[in-house]
């Protein structure tokens, strides 16, 4: 089975409102709370267009987002 994971909306047009809505339903965290903590900062955008080349940079970006 082949999986394509695309955060940059290059191949798949991701509706982040639907994604956050699903997360809200599954976690019972209010949607407004999730929307406040989720933002596309400089590192997220750099990662999505392939400008972060090292694993360390990618890991740091994800960890910063997860532990906000």
Backbone angles phi, psi at 62, to 5 degrees: -65, -45
Q: How many CA atoms lie within 13 A of 61 on its CB side?
A: 19
User: 6 an active-site residue?
Assistant: yes
Active-site residue (options: 6, 13, 15, 25): 6
CB contact set of 34 (below 8 Å; sequence gap of 6+)? 20, 23, 24
Task: Cite the active site residues.
Answer: 6
């Amino acid at each position: 089975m082949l999986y394509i994971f695309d955060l940059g909306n290059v191949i798949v047009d991701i509706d982040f409102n639907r994604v956050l809505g699903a997360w809200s339903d599954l976690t019972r965290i209010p949607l407004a709370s999730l929307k406040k903590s989720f933002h596309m900062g400089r590192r997220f955008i750099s990662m999505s267009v392939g400008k972060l080349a090292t694993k360390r940079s990618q890991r740091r970006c994800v960890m910063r987002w997860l532990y906000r």
